[in-house]
Structure 1
Amino acid sequence: MRFGIDVGTTRTIAAVVDRGNYPVVTVEDYLGDAQEYIPSVVALDGDRLVAGWEAMKLGPDDPSLVRSFKRIMSDHSVTAGTPVQLGHATRPLGDVLRVYAETVVNTLRDFQATLDNSSPIEVVLGIPANAHTAQRLLTLSAFSEAGAEVAGLINEPSAAAFEYTHRHARTLNSRRSGIVIYDLGGGTFDASLIRVDGTTHEVMGSLGISHLGGDDFDVILAECALRAAGKPGVPSRTLIDEARSAKESLVPQSRRLVIDVEGEDVVVPATDFYDAAMPLVEQTIEVMTPLIGTDDLRESEIAGIYLVGGASSLPLISRVLRERFGRRVHRAPFTAGATAVGLAIAADPDSGFHLRDKLSRGIGVFREFDDGRAVSFDPLITRETKPDADGRITVTRRYRAAHNVGWFRFVEYDSFNEEDGSPGDISLLGEMKVPFDPSIIDVDAVEITRFDGPEIEETVMVNSDGIASIRIAVQGGVVVEHTPKVTLALQ
C-alpha cells in the first residue's frame, strides 16, 4: 500500500493512494476521536520514549514533552547523536526519530488493518526544499528502519505543486505555465517556482527560511496575550499552546482572540496580533519575491501563487499576498494536507506525474594550498546545476596533485559571495585526508609538503533524494569514498 507522508514540524499527515484518489488518512487520538494528523511530539513515559498521540496522552504540561523536534534537524551540525532535551533527561536525536517513525508506520499499519490489507508499506516522504544531506538522510533512515519501503524523498513545495495541478489544471496553459508554491509550515518556510508542461513539473528555483513557521506566530500571539494581561515576559509552554489553538480558530471576519492566561480570559484584538506578526509575513514575501520577479502577475507567466502548509491558513497571509500580487493567490482547501496529497500522487505509479527537481543549495570544498598555510573555497555544484533524466547530479574533476597529502572539507552551502569567494551558511558533508604519495602510511603523521604527484579524480554525486556522496581516486593509488550513513538505533 502506498502513502505520501508529510512529516511536519508540529503535525504529520499521511495520504493514501486509492485508485486515482488520494484521501488523507484518518487516525484515532488517545480518546478514540478521529483526527487527520499525528502530532509531531515525543515524550518520556518513565524511561520509555513515546511519540504521537501516546505522548500527548501524558498531558501538555508533562515536562518531558518535546514539540517541533524537526527544527533540530535543520541545524548544520546535526547528527544521529545530537542530544534532545526531554525535561531533565536527554536522548539522542536518532532514537527520537526512530521512535517517532515507528509510531507513524504502526499507525499506517492500523489503517491498513481496517481495510484487510497486509501488503508492505511503501512511502514517499516530504522534506523541506532547503534541507541539507544530513537532514535528508536522517529522515530516510528513520522510516526505513521503522519498516517502511521508502520510494523517495521529494521537496515539500514540489509535492504541493502536484496537488495544485491535480486540483487546478484548468488554470494552466501555454501562456501561464508557472506555479509559485508558498509553503509555510510549523517550523519552516519554503517557496518554489515550478513550470508545468502537462504532467511534467520542472523546478526552476527554490528558496526558504529554515527557522520560520507557525511556531513563531504562536509565540508572538502568546506575547501579545501577556501584554494585554499586563504581565509581560516570556510565555510558558502552556500559554503558547493556548495561543496556537486561538490562532487556528481565526477566520477573516475575526476581530478578537480570547486566550486563557493563568486562568484569566484575556482579549487580544486581531489587529494587534496581525501588526506584531507582519514582520514575519514580510520576511516570507522577501524570500519568495525573487522567484516571481514582478508585483504584477498579469505580466508574468505565473498562473498562481499557491498557499500550503498549516500556518498559511492564517487570514493575514492570504490578505497580504492578495494585496501585493492580486487575485491569482490561491489557498489550498486543506492547507495542512496539500503536501501529503501531492506526495501520495508522487507515490502513485499510475498518476503519470513526473518531476524534475532542482537543488536549493550548492556543494563545494575547502582546499588547502601554499603548503597548508592557506585555504580556498571551490564551488563544485551550484543551485543552477541541473540533474540528469534520473534526477542525479554527477560532477567530476581531474587535476595533478601538488602536495603529498590532500585535505578536503566538503560542505553544502546556501549562498556564494563572488567578490571574496566565500560561502554563506554551510553544513559539513565530510572531511577527507587522502595520501597522494604512495609511500605514506599514516596521513596524520606526516607534514604537508609540495609533491609532484599523480592525477587525481574527484567526483561528487547527488542522488535523486538529494543525498550527496564523494569519491576521490588517486591514479595508481588509493580510492577514498565518503558516503553518509546513519545508524538510528543508538541504544
Structure 2
Amino acid sequence: MRFGIDFGTTRTIIAAADRGNYPVLTVDDSEGDTQDYIPTQIALDGDRIVAGWDAVELARAGVPVARSFKRLLAAPGSTAATPVRIGEEQITLGEAMSAFANHIAEVIRRSELATGPLQAVVGVPANAHSGQRLLTLDAFSRAGIEVLALVNEPSAAAFEYTHRHPRGINSKRSTVVVFDLGGGTFDTSMVQIAGTRHEIVRSLGVNHLGGDDFDEVLALLARRAGDFEHDAMGERAYARLLDEARSAKERIAPQSRRIFLEFGDQDITVPVDEYYEASSELVERAIATVAELLGDDSIETLAGTDIAGIYLVGGASGLPLIPRLLRERFGRRVHRSPHPGASTAIGLAIAADPDSGYALRDRLARGIGVFREHDGGREVTFDPQIAPTEAPDANGEIIVRRRYPAAHNVGWFRFVEYSALDAQGEPTGDLSPLVDIVMPFDPELQGRDDLRDMPVVRREGGPLIEETVRVDTNGITSIRIADLDTGFAVEATATR
C-alpha cells in the first residue's frame, strides 16, 4: 500500500492512495477521540522515546516533551548528532527522527488500509537543504518504509489543487501560486499546470516562519492581558500556555472579536484586533516572499495575469487575517483549501499513486556553490555551480561537471547551498554547509590523512581535475573530485 506522509513541524498527517481515492488516516488520541493528525512531539518515558499522542499524554502528567523538534532540521549545519533537549535530558536529532518515524510506521501498520510492504512519498519544505532531506529520508527508511520520493510540500499541494479543482485551470489561467504556511516553515511555489502535468517555475521559502510564531505572539499578549507578563515562568508552564494559545488561535473565526484563553485559574481575554496588529508583521513577511516569487513589485492584482489564484494550504493559513491581507494585496483570486491541514498529505498520496497520471517537474529552491582557495591560499573565492530554479534532466537529476588543471598542491573545497547572489556574485541570505573536502592534487600527497595541516602552495603543471556535483531526485547533493591523471578521487554526500 502506498501513502503520502506530510511530516509537519507541529502535526503529521498521512493519506493513503486507495484506488483513486486519497483518504486521510485517522488515529485515536490519548482520550479515545478520533483525530486526523499525529502531534509531532516526542517525550522520554524513562529510557524510552515515545511519540505522538503518547507524548501528549505524558505531557499532561508533567513529563517534559520536545515540541516542534523538526525546526532543528532547518538550521544550517544540522546533523544527526545535533542535540535535542527534552527537559533536563538530551538526545540527538537522529534519535528523535528515528523514534518519530518508527511511530509513524506503527500507526500506518495498525491502519486497516495497510496491506503489503509500506511505501510512501514523504513531504519536505521546498527550501529544505540537503542535510534536512537526507535525515528525513534516512529516518523513514530505517523505520521500514520504502520512501519512493521526497516531494516538496507546495508541489504536493498543487497536485491536491488540480485534483480538487480540475476546471480551475484553463488556457488563459494556467498557473497557481501555492501559499503553504505550516507550523514551522513557510513555502511558496509558482506552478504551471497542463492537465496532470505540473512544472514548478520557482520556489521560495522562509525556514523559520509558521504557526509556532503566531502562537508565541498570542502567548505574549495573553501574559500581558493576564498581568503576568514579567512573572518568571518555567518551561512546562510556558509550554502549557503555548498549547492554549494554539487552541485559541485555531478557534478564531472571521466574525470573532475576542480570543478567550484559560490558563491555570485565569480566564484571559485578548481582543482579536490587538492580536491581528501584533501578528501582521509575520503575515507581511510571507506576503513579501510571494511578491518576490511573482518577480514584479508592480503587480497589485492578479487580474490580467495567467495566475488562476493563490492557494492557501497548511494549518496555520486558517487564521482569517491571512486571506484578508492577501486579498488586500493581490485581489480576490485567493482560495483556501477546504482541507488546508491535509492538502499536502493528499497531494503526496496522489504523487505516490502510480495510476493517478500526475507528473511533476520540480526545480531547485536553493543554489549550490563552493568556496575554494585562490592565489596560493591567500584568497577564498565563491564559485556558483548550480543556480536556484535549475531544472532537472529527464532522469530527475541535476549533474554539473567541470574540468581544469590543478594550480595548487592541495585544494580546499567548502560546498554550500545558497538562496541568491548579489551584484558581485557573492551569496546572500542564509548559507547551509554541504561538505568540506580536501583534495590532494600533488600525487605524492594522495592517500595521506594529514592534509588539513598542509599549507596551500601554488604550483605549475598540475594534473587534470574533474569536479562532479550531483543532485538526485530527492534533492540530496553528492560531490566527487577526481584526478584524471592518477584516478584518485574523493567523494562525499551532504550530511548536514
TM band (smaller chain)? over 0.9
Per the normalisation by structure 1, the TM-score is 0.96
Going from structure 1 to structure 2, the CA distance change for 1:383 and 1:444 (only over 3 Å counts) comes to closer
Going from structure 1 to structure 2, the CA distance change for 1:422 and 1:157 (only over 3 Å counts) comes to closer
Counterpart pick for 2:176 among 171, 175, 179: 179
Give the superposition deviation at 1:307: 0.2
Counterpart pick for 2:316 among 292, 311, 319: 311
Give the superposition deviation at 1:262: 3.3
Q: Quote the Cα distance in structure 2 between the aligned partners of 1:179 and 1:61.
A: 45
Give the superposition deviation at 1:390: 2.0
The runs of 5 or more residues in structure 1 that have no matched partner are: 487-491
Q: Quote the Cα distance in structure 1 between the aligned partners of 2:47 and 2:277.
A: 44
The alignment partner of 2:100 has SS state of helix
> Equivalent residues in 2 for 1:185-334 (5 A)?
185-233=182-230, 236-292=238-294, 293=296, 294-334=299-339
Residues 429-476 of structure 1, C-alpha deviations (whole Å, 9 max, x = no match): 111111111112433454321222011110100011000000111122
The alignment partner of 1:59 has SS state of helix
| Matching of residue 448 in structure 1 with residue 453 in structure 2 | no
Q: Quote the Cα distance in structure 2 between the aligned partners of 1:252 and 1:67.
A: 28
The amino acid across from 2:323 in the alignment is S
| Matching of residue 458 in structure 1 with residue 457 in structure 2 | no
Counterpart pick for 1:133 among 130, 134, 157: 130
* Equivalent position of 1:483 in the other structure: 493
| Matching of residue 164 in structure 1 with residue 161 in structure 2 | yes
Q: Quote the Cα distance in structure 1 between the aligned partners of 2:167 and 2:425.
A: 47
Going from structure 1 to structure 2, the CA distance change for 1:61 and 1:181 (only over 3 Å counts) comes to farther
| Matching of residue 378 in structure 1 with residue 383 in structure 2 | yes
Q: Quote the Cα distance in structure 2 between the aligned partners of 1:403 and 1:430.
A: 20
Residues 255-291 of structure 1, C-alpha deviations (whole Å, 9 max, x = no match): 1111113311111111111111111001100011122
* Equivalent position of 1:415 in the other structure: 420
Native 8 Å contact 2:419 2:427 kept in 1? no
The runs of 5 or more residues in structure 2 that have no matched partner are: none
Segment of structure 1 superposing worse, 313-322 or 119-128: 313-322
Give the superposition deviation at 1:230: 2.2
The alignment partner of 1:281 has SS state of helix
* Equivalent position of 1:91 in the other structure: 91
* Equivalent position of 1:402 in the other structure: 407
Q: Quote the Cα distance in structure 1 between the aligned partners of 2:181 and 2:304.
A: 26
Give the superposition deviation at 1:420: 5.8
Q: Quote the Cα distance in structure 2 between the aligned partners of 1:475 and 1:53.
A: 55
Give the superposition deviation at 1:421: 2.6
Q: Quote the Cα distance in structure 1 between the aligned partners of 2:103 and 2:34.
A: 17
The alignment partner of 1:335 has SS state of coil
Residues 336-383 of structure 1, C-alpha deviations (whole Å, 9 max, x = no match): 000000000000000000000011101000110111111000000011
**Aligned length in residues:** 483
* Equivalent position of 2:56 in the other structure: 56
The amino acid across from 1:414 in the alignment is S
Residues 20-39 of structure 1, C-alpha deviations (whole Å, 9 max, x = no match): 11011111112222110000
Segment of structure 1 superposing worse, 150-159 or 166-175: 166-175
Give the superposition deviation at 1:321: 1.1
Q: Quote the Cα distance in structure 2 between the aligned partners of 1:104 and 1:248.
A: 24
Going from structure 1 to structure 2, the CA distance change for 1:129 and 1:61 (only over 3 Å counts) comes to farther
Native 8 Å contact 1:226 1:261 kept in 2? no
Give the superposition deviation at 1:296: 1.3
Give the superposition deviation at 1:324: 1.9
Native 8 Å contact 2:74 2:132 kept in 1? yes
Q: Quote the Cα distance in structure 2 between the aligned partners of 1:446 and 1:315.
A: 60
Native 8 Å contact 2:388 2:420 kept in 1? no
Q: Quote the Cα distance in structure 1 between the aligned partners of 2:437 and 2:62.
A: 44
The alignment partner of 1:371 has SS state of coil
Native 8 Å contact 2:184 2:207 kept in 1? yes
The alignment partner of 2:9 has SS state of coil
Residues 192-234 of structure 1, C-alpha deviations (whole Å, 9 max, x = no match): 0000011110001111110010011011111111121222247
What is the alpha-carbon root mean square deviation over aligned residues? 1.4
Native 8 Å contact 1:157 1:182 kept in 2? yes
Counterpart pick for 1:336 among 338, 341, 354: 341
Native 8 Å contact 2:434 2:495 kept in 1? no
